[in-house]
Structure 1
Amino acid sequence: MSSHLRKAALAALLVSTSAAWATDPVNVRFSWKLKGEYAHLYLAQEQGIYASKNLAVRMGEGAGAPAALGALLQGQEDVVVMPAIFAVSAIQKGMPVKIVALYHPRTPVVLISQPDKPIAQPKDLEGKTIAHSVGETGTSYLSVFCAVNGIDCAKVKKIQMDAQSRVPQFLQKQVDAVSVYRTSDLPVLEAKVGTKFPVLDLAQHGLAIPGLAAVSSNAAIAKRPDVLRRYLAAVNEGIAATRKDPKAAAAALMKTWEGSPPAEVVEAQVRATMDAVPAASGKPVGWIDAKAISQALDLLKTDEAIGTPKPVETFFTNDLLPAQ
């Protein structure tokens, strides 16, 4: 073989080898700041799970669901990690995105009250005041919660205020209750104040608000289905690893999280996040039940004018989830 042919063969070999080992970039944006809900994604990074699937995943904080979805539509992001209820609302309004995995079919949001004035059962809400801000998950659908639990909602007073004032007003006992997430707010608050607050779990009492989810654009789903499949498979492996070792997941997240809460608080967030992910039931983790979307649309009707609901299949796809 001539030197020219040898060089050409070597070049072809290098190109084919490079292509075989090329990694696909995946840009992931959270809808909010770092919190324990995202720890499994960082454990997947640390354990090389993304790399094993030829993925180079970049993750970044967000500043709300609308901004994250806007970046998704502009092609700056491939996946947004956000509460599914906001994605359902956006899709109903015409945004060309889909939920591709739903990890929390029931958002782990709770109402906390003062130990000397506990709200232990739904009926205890009657005669109480609750802090409320526009768009807040825990109290926006209070009328539905009342209906499901036989509460006279006329006897429950919602005090509207800005989001930043809710918890301080509660701690100052200006209101009797405030809604918080088990997966983020509650561990931080209890550690900071040194108090175990009475908890009323809204999901356990019938308020099924779809929460933690992965959302992608219709364009990305059409153009990069294989990449998204590998990404969702890696996430599921990260969830499995986090279930086995929540402490390691918390530590992986904290390496990126400047100014994080103490390790035990982050670990409590991680454990609460995993507790809210349903156990396997013949379907892959993240499987989306059409009923969850229908229920979300029913909830949205009680809080905003959404018009005629779009067909349920408009809102989600299970096609990208790994096979069981």
Structure 2
Amino acid sequence: MSYATSLVRSLTLAATVAVGSILVSQSAMAEDLNVRFSWKLKGEYGFFYLGEEKGVYRDAGVTPKLGEGAGSQAALGSLVQGQEDVVVLPGIFAISAIQKGMPVKIIALYQPEAPVVLISHPEKPVTSPKDLEGKSIAHSVGETGTSYLGVFCEANKIDCAKVNKVQMDSQSRVPQFLQKQVDVVSVYLTNDLPVLEDKTGVKYPVLDLTEYGLAVPGMAVVASDDGIAKKGAALKSFLAANAKAIEMTRADPAAATTALKAVWQAGPSDKVVQQQVEQTSASIHSSAGTPVGWIDEKAIAEALKLIGSVEDIGEARPLSSFYTNDLLKQ
């Protein structure tokens, strides 16, 4: 072996060892973040798992410990107790909790309008607000799609007295609809609808509530005031990594589907999960010139009005107490 060849091999080996050392060092330095979803696995969470698989979080210096949840209330409770560093849940629930005094803030709002729609039976289609008159609609307490029906009726000049709102347990809404006990039920484009259409083989008529002015804040990332003070740098890195993962998912929804299904073997078919993933990507947006997840103060103000339309919230807190965009700034 010539001296030159030996030197090249030595340098190559040294470079490989150096790169390996850097990667090990980065991994060792990565800060753990406990991340709790408000619900069980679904396509909405696909970008987190794609980012994890592709090393986006590792490269950002954080290691998210992703976990399923059992409702927004439980997720927020564990956040305040310090068991979680961030929770991912519908923004409307975070806003309600903050108004009641919970010491947390929204640090990113990915869905300024939750992708909620009303679906109906093909033989009795509801595709415009006026079609709701004379129909029955399933409703459960706290359910996003129908809790603010009064506001929706007023905005679209329809007579809500002619809409029969049938109250029932949240778990009964969809089964009652499928059994044709009610004419209309609310579902998420990013979760329920792809599952239902795959299960039944029916293409349901859709009334998109967001198209007719009902903007209920959807997927948000929430941290405690204490966590923001103590782990602000790590949270900022986490949000930057989320932004990259979201863009990767837009570009390759099939890859996000595969990454999610790797930890969700009991989930629906790849086709259904990919539909959920694609609908989620379509629902994530922010104002022009702002980072993904940027929180518009107007969205908070409008959400408070919605909450105040169905319950007594007292004097509204200052809007700045509900959110911060500081962790999204470059």
What TM-score does the superposition give when structure 1 sets the normalisation length? 0.93
Letter of the structure 2 residue corresponding to residue 64 of structure 1: G
Q: Secondary structure at the residue paired with 1:216?
A: strand
1:1-324 paired onto structure 2 within 5 Å: 21-278=28-285, 281-323=288-330
Letter of the structure 2 residue corresponding to residue 246 of structure 1: P
Distance 2:285 2:106 in 1: 17
Letter of the structure 1 residue corresponding to residue 247 of structure 2: A
Please state how far the C-alpha of 1:111 moved relative to its aligned partner. Answer: 0.2
Distance 2:182 2:267 in 1: 28
Q: Secondary structure at the residue paired with 1:116?
A: coil
**Residues 120 and 200, structure 1, Cα contact 8 Å, conserved in 2:** yes
**Residues 101 and 288, structure 1, Cα contact 8 Å, conserved in 2:** yes
Please state how far the C-alpha of 1:280 moved relative to its aligned partner. Answer: 6.1
**Residues 110 and 286, structure 2, Cα contact 8 Å, conserved in 1:** no
Please state how far the C-alpha of 1:303 moved relative to its aligned partner. Answer: 1.4
Please state how far the C-alpha of 1:21 moved relative to its aligned partner. Answer: 4.8
Distance 1:66 1:158 in 2: 25
Distance 1:209 1:238 in 2: 24
Distance 2:86 2:257 in 1: 22
Distance 1:140 1:48 in 2: 40
Moved more, 78-87 or 314-323: 314-323
**Residues 42 and 253, structure 1, Cα contact 8 Å, conserved in 2:** yes
Letter of the structure 1 residue corresponding to residue 294 of structure 2: W
Letter of the structure 1 residue corresponding to residue 73 of structure 2: P
1:121-169 deviations in whole A, cap 9, x for unaligned? 1000001100000110000000000011001001001000001111111
1:196-243 deviations in whole A, cap 9, x for unaligned? 000000011100000000000000001111000000000000001000
Q: Secondary structure at the residue paired with 1:98?
A: strand
How many residues are aligned here?
Answer: 308
Letter of the structure 2 residue corresponding to residue 215 of structure 1: V
Distance 1:234 1:169 in 2: 41
1:13-34 deviations in whole A, cap 9, x for unaligned? x9xx959951100110000000
Distance 2:193 2:271 in 1: 13
**Residues 110 and 138, structure 1, Cα contact 8 Å, conserved in 2:** yes
Please state how far the C-alpha of 1:258 moved relative to its aligned partner. Answer: 3.1
Structure 1 117/21 Cα, relative in aligned 2: closer, same or farther at 3 Å?
same
Please state how far the C-alpha of 1:86 moved relative to its aligned partner. Answer: 0.1
**Residues 232 and 322, structure 1, Cα contact 8 Å, conserved in 2:** no
What TM-score does the superposition give when structure 2 sets the normalisation length? 0.91
Structure 1 189/21 Cα, relative in aligned 2: closer, same or farther at 3 Å?
same
**Residues 128 and 156, structure 1, Cα contact 8 Å, conserved in 2:** yes
**Residues 27 and 58, structure 2, Cα contact 8 Å, conserved in 1:** no
Please state how far the C-alpha of 1:281 moved relative to its aligned partner. Answer: 1.1
Distance 2:27 2:272 in 1: 42
Distance 1:19 1:131 in 2: 51
Letter of the structure 2 residue corresponding to residue 211 of structure 1: G
Please state how far the C-alpha of 1:304 moved relative to its aligned partner. Answer: 1.3
Specify every segment of 5 or more residues in structure 1 that has no aligned partner in the other structure, as ranges: 1-13
**Residues 25 and 57, structure 1, Cα contact 8 Å, conserved in 2:** yes
Moved more, 17-26 or 285-294: 17-26
Q: Secondary structure at the residue paired with 2:294?
A: coil
Distance 2:25 2:278 in 1: 40
1:169-212 deviations in whole A, cap 9, x for unaligned? 11111110000000000000000000000000001110000000
**Identity value in percent:** 60
CA RMSD of aligned residues (A): 1.4
Distance 2:27 2:126 in 1: 59
Moved more, 18-27 or 195-204: 18-27
Q: Secondary structure at the residue paired with 2:328?
A: coil
